[in-house]
Amino acid sequence: DGFLRGQSLYTFELFPDDIVGLNARVLARNGLKSVTVYDAINDTRNLKVPISTAKAEGMAVSAVTVFTVSPVHTDEYYAERIREMVALGADRVGVKDPTGLLTPERGRTLFPTVMAAAGDRPVELHSHCQSSLAPEVYTEAILAGFHFVHTAVRPLANGASLPAVEDIVERAARLGVATGLDLEAVAQASGYFDWLCLREDKPRGCVAAYDPALYSHQVPGGMISNLKSQLETMQMGHRLPEILVEVARVREDLGYPILVSPFAQYVVTQAVLNVVQGERYRTIPDEVRKYAMGYYGRLA
């Protein structure tokens, strides 16, 4: 399976339709049987060509809507995005939660709404563990009837990654749901990465501590670590909390973009400039101007 950022494919820019079609032909020729597509701004118009060209090349298509928390991203908002993706011919639909913002409480209202909107299409969930709540969220998805949930083998799971497949299999079993997974093969894969972590002196995935500030700034974990490193290089590491507060303000100013690439980079860059220069919006990057003008798609 391949992940495509809609009309942007693998980058931050929108590509012409013929390039998107060429990409689909190359993927199919290289043996891919399915692709997952999403649009970082949830403008489903940016999924029309990626879906149609992939299906024309004989690949199955899973289309997912990107989750965030804001006053405008309601359960009905997501249901409408799901209905639009069904209308475009997606074989499967789902919810992608790149920052791990979903909570079990939100899942209890959102997931049945998504299931109803999906009709006869299989539904999947992709959620990261940054808030530590993803395993509980997956339990709610299973109870709601979701057909697939995305996981990682234990050495590579948790933290900013996906829930551990071993944990989710146990949860499903307690709910009376058979996964059909080959647990011996899963154990072999986990063992290999355990050995690799040991050989290369790499950290294993560990459960993150719950951080309520995540729901304010919403910056993905990998991006926070990069930002912290860059600020420390400039001897400005002490200003990270101030910048994260500004991130939340900028995001509100810009109409609640989802903090997934490329908009996470745009919002954080603007917040850093606002803080470092001591004047909000003294400098505005071209990408932020283009976002506000609707270049990337319809704003929520």
Q: What is the pLDDT of residue 13?
A: 86
State the maximum Cα–Cα separation within the chain, in Å, rounded to a whole number: 58
Q: What is the pLDDT of residue 261?
A: 82
Contact of 52 with 17, CB cutoff 8 Å:
no
The residue type found at 48 is: K
Cis ω for the linkage preceding 135 (within 30 of 0): no
Q: What is the pLDDT of residue 164?
A: 96
Closest C-alpha to 148, from 1, 24, 41, 5: 1
Q: What is the rounded CA–CA span in Å between residue 101 and residue 127?
A: 8
> What are the Cα distances from residue 193, in Å, to 126, 162, 166, 203, 267?
21, 15, 14, 11, 35
Looking at the chain, the number of H-run helices and the number of E-run strands are 12, 6
Angle value at C-alpha 109, between 68 and 244, nearest 5 degrees: 25
Q: What is the rounded CA–CA span in Å between residue 174 and residue 240?
A: 42
| pTM exceeds cut of 0.95 | no
Per-residue tens of pLDDT for the chain, all 300 residues: 788 999 999 988 899 999 999 999 999 999 999 999 999 999 999 999 999 999 999 999 999 999 999 999 999 999 999 999 999 999 999 999 999 999 999 999 999 999 999 999 999 999 999 999 999 999 999 999 999 999 999 999 998 899 999 999 999 999 999 999 999 999 999 999 999 999 999 999 898 888 888 888 888 777 877 888 888 988 888 999 999 999 999 999 999 999 888 898 999 999 999 999 999 999 999 999 999 999 999 988
Q: What is the pLDDT of residue 181?
A: 93
Q: What is the pLDDT of residue 219?
A: 86
Q: What is the pLDDT of residue 128?
A: 93
Closest C-alpha to 128, from 229, 213, 207, 34: 207
